[in-house]
Structure 1
Amino acid sequence: MTASAETLYGADDLTHLEGLEAVRKRPGMYIGSTDSRGVNHLFTEIVDNSTDEGVAGHASRVVVTLHADGSVEVEDDGRGIPTGVHAKSGLSGVELVLTRLHAGGKFGGSGYKASGGLHGVGASAVNALSLRLDVTVKRAGKVHEMSFARGVPGVFDGPGPKARFTRQSGLRVVRKMKRGESTGTTIRYWHDARYFEKGAELGIEAVREKLRNTAFLVPGVTYVLRAATEGAINEETFHYPNGLVDMVDFLAPAGDRAVCDTLVITGEGTYKENAADENGVMQSNVERKAEVEVALRWGTGYERTVECFTNTIRNVHGGTHRRGFDRALLRSLQDAISKTRGLLKPKEDLPTVDDVQEGMTAVIHVRIPEPQFTSQTKDELSTAGITKVIQGIVEKQVKAWTEHRKTKAQAKTVLQKVVDASRVRIAQKQQKDAARRKTALEGAAMPAKLVDCRTTGVSRSELFLVEGDSALGSARQARVSEYQALLPLRGKILNVQKAGLGDALKNAEIASIVQVLGAGTGRTFDISAMRYGRVILMADADVDGSHIRTLLITLFARYMRPVIEDGRLYAAMPPLHKVVTKGRKEETHYTFTEREMQAKVAELEKAGKTIKKPVPRFKGLGEMNADELWETTMNPATRAVRRITLDDVDAAEAALELLMGEKVEPRRNWLVSSAARVDEAAIDI
């Protein structure tokens, strides 16, 4: 960099966004988008705060008013936002939560055991993006008021956002509460259109849907919607004493006659996760308690409706609770079908998760402390431990439902519906396959053994090349069907370093790989046409598995090199050992070598823990159950993978030719000369 270039970029060019400026600078980061969905999200953040009071048992009524001037008012009869002075900031509790990011009562304190909010951003983000926000708090016998203009505290001399504004900090006491007057919080805000796209507005249908859904999930709270239209106030009340049962009836398609009573599943469980304590220090294996509530039924139709919620917040894209529900329902109904005589014909395949959920309407609701989401908009739950909790509860109770004498007849009707759905799916697939042109590669139907994902051609999608059919079974149950596809390989593919392209494509396994990727081979390979974002080689952690990985890497390096050059080829790293401690708080550790296992055992025993012995060793991927395979090898959040690279092309070419080429003599000489470098303790025997 030249001296003149340095002078053009100095400390004065750095920007520090203070207070709520960060929200106004990048609103999409905090509310998801700047279209009508973002405007709707502002309302959601405020009403969720009132709902949290209801969930905690402190509020029984929430009233939402959509005023004719475009403002939104949310009133509850909860405890009211704390009005006392916060010791550290010197601000009242009201001003603190409305003007400071990451401030509130939902960070693991005593305010809320389970809450939809966890970042302390919602209310302050609404304030930052509002022309005016008024708050009234009834608490401790007094009525307090405060106003803000674009997040700045002050006083307006009249109604509406256009009134004259004077900056003034502090909460004002306007009067004493009347006898019998309930405590609570009222917030009214006018969103600032400057921060949203033209035409973005709060949709009354979105408000109605939000209040209705929340009323289903919190049967102890009544929600009232008042909307001003043509000078009149129209009022709707949402209250559903039967909770999720009422919600399932509402969500079921019109005219879809139920084939069974609504099954309600409830339970509690614990899970462990890493979490920060009150000082921000990360603690491992913190025990959490989860409450699970599920309602589901099957109808005569074919549509599937599954709604997921965490602490009353709707998770549009599902998440870890949906994954646990899907696995449990599939496993329990497959087991019931296998045990029921006359349902399946000999050699008929078990139904898939899509078959099981055909015509099903279900609602999944979990309450957990400090939930983790993929974004501030909370569209997808990412708390990993909840998967096993909900899986255990749902699987146990669905199994009991299929076996209990009072419900067995209804359950058998459902099982027959599932089997029929499976047969129809297979018949339709066979018809489609027969209708397709079956040329050598292009235009042919995908291999029957391909377990495809619902999304292809995007960076998130993954194709696992799986060693053997045994591993495919566990992988099929463990995967996320939305973006993880599986292609099982039988045995070892042809060594393409010794064979030409023509011979390679005659090999059934290689032909399947080329066909599934859909991007061609050699000089005609077009990476932009590749159907998956990543390719992951998933073979056993033994000598045969290493050989299979080497053969596959050779295939990609020789005929599909752009996959490696673009950093899209990976090798999975399944563990070799599972070290489990004894006792009430059981711990599980996975290790990848004999030496690492022995070191981990020594470390745990030194810490006073007892190890279950002998330590089990995975001889192959097929020995792992679905949960183990997901956690160790397939979950993007916890797995370890090696990216295959070509940093030194000449060296890579030389290594491939030496190890996989036709000439045997150089390879024998290399093996003999390198024998002394082998670590005998690391040899997999």
Structure 2
Amino acid sequence: MYVGSTDTRGLMHCVWELIDNTVDEALAGFGTEVEVSLNADGSISVNDHARGMPVDTEPRTGLSGVEVIFTRLHAGGKFGGGAYNAAGGLHGVGSSVVNALSSRLDVEVDRNSTTWGMSFQRGVPGTFTGPGEKAKFTPGSGLKKIGKAKRGVTGTRITFWPDRQIFHKDAKLSVEELKARLRQTSFLVPGLALTIIDARNGDPETETFKHDGGITEFCEYLAEDEAVTDVIRLQGTEQFTETVPMLDDDGHMTPTDVDRDLEIDIAVRWGKGYGTLVQSFVNVIATPKGGTHVQGFDRALTRTFTKALEGTRLLKSGDEVIKDDILEGMTGVVTVRLAEPQFEGQTKEVLGTPAVTRLVGKVVDKELLAFLTSTKSATKAQARAVMDKVVSASRARVAARQHKEAQRRKNALESSSLPTKLKDCRSTDVERCELFIVEGDSALGTAQGARNSEYQALLPIRGKILNVQKASVGEMLKNAECASIIQVVGGGSGRTFDLDAARYGKVIFMADADSDGAHIRTLLATLFFRYMRPMVEAGRVYSAVPPLHRFELTNPKKGMDKYLYTYSDPEYQRKAAELTKKGINFKEPQRYKGLGEMDAKQLAETTMDPRHRLLRRLTIDDVAAAEVTFELLMGNDVAPRRDFLVEGAYQLDVASIDA
């Protein structure tokens, strides 16, 4: 759970935990050197020249500080606050977890002119009789004096042997990954020298990383293209209040408000290339999957560039820039420092502290806008260059999308083969031909037996089609149901719709007489209104009206049909009262739950046969009002629709409902 896995990744994470602790000391102002050694016997050593771990007895446990750190969870020097303002290993479990996952771990501490030592086997303190992980081990607690240290010399040396009972046999350390991590850390902690010594093959190979330029130098190192701007630093310090559980005097966890300081330091640079590279860090710990600090940075980028471009003539009316336009050719390093950050998991790949998003956005807004609107000649030229690049990326994106959508539409609408699920009619007389768009395969089976195949065609759809009021043209054409309907109707879509090319004189929506059916008819009406409006304006789009109830008369009078149908609850009540008054007996009326409950004969005589059916024609009396209505009912803005439903709930005429 704490190291993520038991393969190479988990083994590397154990090394990171120990390195992070030494780097935290450097961040706190103690120590300027760290050494990582890969030893010939398979062990790994991490040495620093900082203050050294505490060796005094911890009063609550009666154990030395070293033993507490290596055997108790949440007992590190950073847990509970006070020792560090910003550190990477803030869960207080790093050292103890590495100890638990080691077949042997030795720790030596130089402090108070004395060298102290202690060993562990799989987390249990004790003594080894010799070198190596296979030496005889005797359990026993206690930190021992093992020598003298030079006056003023302090530091900690940790050597551990990974437990091969836990880690896979093929789990090996990656030297290249170690070097990359140490190089990265040297950029993030200017002045800190980090040395790696690889002695696994006999002759030690040593490499030291030290950079004084900070994340400006890091950003330049990461960037691979020709520069459009210099590296821009966006820096600021903010404060926020966080509620955290803390132990009170009675040993209970009590929610407590804690004031936090947040240091924000971002380096960003644009080049002439098209790629994007953003690396993020919290207290020098990489967060490869981002988190709240990266969210704040991303959101502020778009907001700030939009604001800056409003003051120029670079963007045409109606144009907009999105995040992808701004990220094109950008290299960035996002770093924040704060005490006790909330991570999603001990592997610390994602920062979760909520307040960071807003505060990072605030700093980026202020600092980046100052750069983009600067009046200094050199800065102004660079700001203009990067804004030109962003606007060019925006125009290229729009042009590429339009070309892609046009090509997709052409392929979808000009395909010579009609969908296989279409049950077409035989007649070529457009005025006579009818297309029924049928909800579901069950209703399709009945409709096939009920239709007149000479002039009635059937196209089944699966449930509810895409709400095209919210979708783009490309998204609409990606939807199989929408694309099939447009293709079968045959007149194209949008402004290029050709009414004369339509293959049917009537298009009829045939869905169940319930709320789902009403929703499907509304979605179909939205599709025709937006992309095949001439069909609606010409009065060629209809909605079938299937019956809700069927009366079976047991003693019909002369001239009366044995079966009677009603299409609404009020009509049903009136018909029942009328039959009772006339003394005509009938069986318990059948309530249809859907089209699939009817047999072919019933569907034909009630819904499909032109001699008996009832159709509702869709018309447009006021295009502007219709636009407003469709946007209200089917658009992106939820609040007006909610208000409309609430206001109309008490004004509804039940008789007007067709379900």
Give the TM-score, by structure 2 length: 0.66
- Are the aligned partners of 2:241 and 2:258 in contact in 1 as well (CA < 8 Å)? yes
- Are the aligned partners of 1:59 and 1:76 in contact in 2 as well (CA < 8 Å)? yes
1:505 to 516, 521, 524: 524
Aligned sequence identity (%): 43
SS across alignment from 1:162:
coil
- Are the aligned partners of 2:284 and 2:335 in contact in 1 as well (CA < 8 Å)? yes
Matches within 5 A, 1:375-454: 375-404=345-374, 405=376, 406-436=378-408, 437-438=411-412, 450=471
Task: After TM superposition, give the deviation of residue 220 of structure 1 in Å.
Answer: 2.7
- In structure 2, runs of 5+ residues without a counterpart are 414-418, 420-460, 474-512, 532-593, 597-634
1:221 to 187, 192, 217: 192
1:352 to 290, 313, 322: 322
Task: After TM superposition, give the deviation of residue 376 of structure 1 in Å.
Answer: 0.8
- Are the aligned partners of 2:227 and 2:272 in contact in 1 as well (CA < 8 Å)? yes
Distance 1:120 1:403 in 2: 45
- The one-letter code of the counterpart of 2:380 is K
Distance 1:450 1:540, change over 3 A: closer
- Render the CA deviation track for 1:396-425: whole Å, top value 9, x for unaligned: 111111122140100110001111111111
1:168 to 140, 144, 147: 140
Task: After TM superposition, give the deviation of residue 307 of structure 1 in Å.
Answer: 0.5
Distance 1:367 1:307 in 2: 15
SS across alignment from 1:43:
helix
1:186 to 146, 152, 157: 157
The match for 1:663 is 655
SS across alignment from 2:518:
coil
Task: After TM superposition, give the deviation of residue 101 of structure 1 in Å.
Answer: 1.3
Distance 2:528 2:245 in 1: 48
SS across alignment from 1:115:
coil
Distance 2:169 2:651 in 1: 63
The match for 1:290 is 262
Task: After TM superposition, give the deviation of residue 505 of structure 1 in Å.
Answer: 2.0
Task: After TM superposition, give the deviation of residue 166 of structure 1 in Å.
Answer: 1.1
SS across alignment from 1:286:
strand
SS across alignment from 2:2:
helix
- Are the aligned partners of 1:539 and 1:546 in contact in 2 as well (CA < 8 Å)? no
Matches within 5 A, 1:191-270: 191-253=162-224, 256-270=225-239
- Are the aligned partners of 1:308 and 1:316 in contact in 2 as well (CA < 8 Å)? yes
- Are the aligned partners of 2:196 and 2:206 in contact in 1 as well (CA < 8 Å)? yes
SS across alignment from 1:289:
strand
Q: Does 1:545 align with 2:642?
A: yes
Distance 1:401 1:663, change over 3 A: same
Task: After TM superposition, give the deviation of residue 282 of structure 1 in Å.
Answer: 3.8
Task: After TM superposition, give the deviation of residue 231 of structure 1 in Å.
Answer: 1.5
The match for 2:13 is 41
Distance 1:509 1:146 in 2: 79
- Are the aligned partners of 1:245 and 1:295 in contact in 2 as well (CA < 8 Å)? yes
Give the TM-score, by structure 1 length: 0.63
Q: Does 1:271 align with 2:240?
A: yes
Structure showing greater radius of gyration is: 2
- Are the aligned partners of 1:438 and 1:445 in contact in 2 as well (CA < 8 Å)? no
Distance 2:11 2:528 in 1: 52
Q: Does 1:313 align with 2:282?
A: no
- Are the aligned partners of 2:468 and 2:526 in contact in 1 as well (CA < 8 Å)? no
- Are the aligned partners of 2:235 and 2:363 in contact in 1 as well (CA < 8 Å)? yes
Task: After TM superposition, give the deviation of residue 273 of structure 1 in Å.
Answer: 1.9
Task: After TM superposition, give the deviation of residue 129 of structure 1 in Å.
Answer: 0.5
Distance 1:316 1:511, change over 3 A: farther
SS across alignment from 1:62:
strand
1:114 to 81, 86, 93: 86
- The one-letter code of the counterpart of 2:396 is V
- The one-letter code of the counterpart of 2:372 is T
Task: After TM superposition, give the deviation of residue 548 of structure 1 in Å.
Answer: 5.5
Distance 1:447 1:322, change over 3 A: farther
- The one-letter code of the counterpart of 1:507 is T
- In structure 1, runs of 5+ residues without a counterpart are 1-28, 453-493, 513-521, 525-536, 552-655, 668-685
Distance 1:363 1:334 in 2: 22
The match for 1:75 is 47
Distance 1:450 1:108, change over 3 A: farther
Distance 1:149 1:661, change over 3 A: farther
- Are the aligned partners of 1:142 and 1:173 in contact in 2 as well (CA < 8 Å)? yes
Task: After TM superposition, give the deviation of residue 495 of structure 1 in Å.
Answer: 9.7
- The one-letter code of the counterpart of 2:355 is G
- The one-letter code of the counterpart of 2:362 is G
The match for 1:129 is 101
- Are the aligned partners of 1:274 and 1:283 in contact in 2 as well (CA < 8 Å)? yes
Distance 1:357 1:87, change over 3 A: same
- Are the aligned partners of 1:32 and 1:377 in contact in 2 as well (CA < 8 Å)? yes
- Are the aligned partners of 1:54 and 1:220 in contact in 2 as well (CA < 8 Å)? no
- The one-letter code of the counterpart of 1:196 is F
Distance 1:37 1:661 in 2: 66
- The one-letter code of the counterpart of 1:148 is F
Distance 1:230 1:666, change over 3 A: closer
- The one-letter code of the counterpart of 2:15 is F
The match for 1:301 is 273
Task: After TM superposition, give the deviation of residue 199 of structure 1 in Å.
Answer: 1.2
Task: After TM superposition, give the deviation of residue 278 of structure 1 in Å.
Answer: 4.5
- Are the aligned partners of 1:498 and 1:660 in contact in 2 as well (CA < 8 Å)? no
- Are the aligned partners of 1:265 and 1:397 in contact in 2 as well (CA < 8 Å)? yes
SS across alignment from 2:399:
helix
SS across alignment from 1:31:
coil
Distance 1:220 1:196, change over 3 A: same
Deviates more, 1:102-111 or 1:353-362: 102-111
Distance 1:352 1:147, change over 3 A: same
- Render the CA deviation track for 1:572-629: whole Å, top value 9, x for unaligned: xxxxxxxxxxxxxxxxxxxxxxxxxxxxxxxxxxxxxxxxxxxxxxxxxxxxxxxxxx
Deviates more, 1:194-203 or 1:658-667: 658-667
Distance 1:538 1:403, change over 3 A: closer
Distance 1:52 1:548 in 2: 58
- Are the aligned partners of 1:504 and 1:510 in contact in 2 as well (CA < 8 Å)? no
Distance 1:246 1:500 in 2: 59
- The one-letter code of the counterpart of 1:76 is D
RMSD of aligned Cα (Å)? 3.3
SS across alignment from 1:287:
strand
- Render the CA deviation track for 1:52-75: whole Å, top value 9, x for unaligned: 000000111101111122211000
The match for 2:559 is none
Task: After TM superposition, give the deviation of residue 372 of structure 1 in Å.
Answer: 0.2
2:310 to 313, 338, 343: 338
Distance 2:115 2:348 in 1: 33
Distance 1:92 1:511, change over 3 A: farther
- Are the aligned partners of 2:56 and 2:64 in contact in 1 as well (CA < 8 Å)? yes
Task: After TM superposition, give the deviation of residue 335 of structure 1 in Å.
Answer: 1.4
Task: After TM superposition, give the deviation of residue 357 of structure 1 in Å.
Answer: 1.0
Distance 1:63 1:112 in 2: 22
- Are the aligned partners of 1:146 and 1:153 in contact in 2 as well (CA < 8 Å)? yes
The match for 1:363 is 333
Distance 2:647 2:386 in 1: 47
- Are the aligned partners of 1:292 and 1:365 in contact in 2 as well (CA < 8 Å)? yes
SS across alignment from 2:31:
coil
- Render the CA deviation track for 1:60-107: whole Å, top value 9, x for unaligned: 110111112221100001111100011111110000010111211212
Distance 2:156 2:337 in 1: 24
Task: After TM superposition, give the deviation of residue 281 of structure 1 in Å.
Answer: 4.1
Task: After TM superposition, give the deviation of residue 662 of structure 1 in Å.
Answer: 6.0
